[in-house]
């Protein structure tokens, strides 16, 4: 008995130290994975929100609902606001219009009354910008093979081309997504923004 002198205690303390290190490592990994999952969720929310605004504005254009637009067919009118809205890597609203649903007034930043969706709140409502790019000829009109944008300055033009840019955030204001589409419609809007 005198020879053992606490060897079991030393071995037990070493095992306890190893188990503590394993527990700390696994908990830090799970925290990192939780943060990664949250960042992915915010990214998806921002993407879906921007797509929602983009499709809503396209729907309004298709139905002839007036939305403010910039006339980009005249380069002098394309202002710094349009360029900043389209290209900024930070949250920009100057030059854009807040999107609150197509035909309804929704606030995407307010918690819904349905508690199952209470975690789907956005940091900011999406914003959009519409630019008029010019006319395009109806393919069945005329004999010219040049029937693309810019060639249809005559009265035979039947289609109007718009570029829509939508910006949105996720649940975090640090996650921003920008999506664009080019939309062709038979409805011409009077562009009132400059």
What mean pLDDT is predicted for residues 143-158?
51
> Which has more confidence, 146 or 27?
27
CB atoms within 10 A of CB 190: 9
103: left (phi > 0), else alpha (psi -120 to 50), else beta? Answer: left
CB crowding 119-130: b at 16 or more within 10 Å, else e: ebebbbbbbbbb
Whole-angstrom Cα distance, residue 65 to residue 189? 8
* Predicted pLDDT of residue 8: 79
Phi, psi of 168 (to 5 degrees): -150, 160
Q: Count Cβ atoms within 10 A of the Cβ of residue 38 and give its class: 0-12 exposed, 13-18 middle, 19 or more buried.
A: middle
Whether pLDDT at 61 is above 80: yes
73 CB-near residues (< 8 Å, 6+ apart)? 132, 133, 134, 150
CB atoms within 10 A of CB 68: 15
- Read off the pLDDT band of 72 (50, 70, 90): confident
Place of tokens 């290209």: 87
* Predicted pLDDT of residue 152: 47
This prediction has a pTM of 0.71
Q: For the segment 96-122, what is each residue's pLDDT rounded down to a tens digit?
A: 889 988 777 888 888 776 666 566 788
> What dihedral angle (degrees, nearest 10) is formed by the CA atoms of 103, 164, 181, 110?
-50
What mean pLDDT is predicted for residues 75-83?
74
Contact criterion met (CB below 8 Å) for 99 and 49: no
Residue 187: helix, strand or coil by DSSP? Answer: coil
Q: For the segment 123-138, what is each residue's pLDDT rounded down to a tens digit?
A: 899 999 998 888 876 5
* Predicted pLDDT of residue 119: 64
- Read off the pLDDT band of 66 (50, 70, 90): confident
* Predicted pLDDT of residue 138: 59
pLDDT above 90 as % of the chain: 25
Whole-angstrom Cα distance, residue 143 to residue 146? 9
Q: For the segment 27-40, what is each residue's pLDDT rounded down to a tens digit?
A: 878 888 888 888 89
Whether pLDDT at 148 is above 60: no
């Amino acid at each position: 008995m005198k020879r053992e002198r606490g060897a079991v205690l030393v071995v037990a303390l070493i095992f306890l130290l190893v188990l503590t290190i394993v527990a700390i490592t696994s908990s830090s990994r799970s925290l990192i994975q939780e943060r990664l999952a949250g960042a992915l969720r915010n990214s998806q929310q921002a993407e879906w929100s921007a797509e929602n605004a983009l499709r809503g504005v396209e729907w309004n254009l298709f139905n002839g609902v007036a939305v403010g637009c910039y006339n980009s067919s005249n380069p002098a009118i394309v202002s710094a606001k349009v360029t900043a809205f389209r290209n900024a890597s930070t949250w920009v609203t100057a030059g854009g219009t807040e999107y609150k649903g197509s035909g309804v007034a929704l606030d995407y930043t307010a918690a819904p009354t349905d508690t199952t969706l209470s975690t789907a709140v956005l940091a900011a409502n999406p914003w959009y910008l519409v630019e008029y790019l010019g006319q395009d000829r109806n393919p069945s009109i005329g004999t010219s093979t040049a029937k693309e944008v810019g060639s249809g300055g005559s009265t035979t033009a039947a289609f109007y081309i718009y570029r829509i840019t939508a910006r949105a955030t996720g649940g975090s204001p640090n996650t921003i997504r920008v999506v664009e589409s080019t939309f062709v419609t038979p409805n011409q809007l009077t562009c009132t923004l400059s």
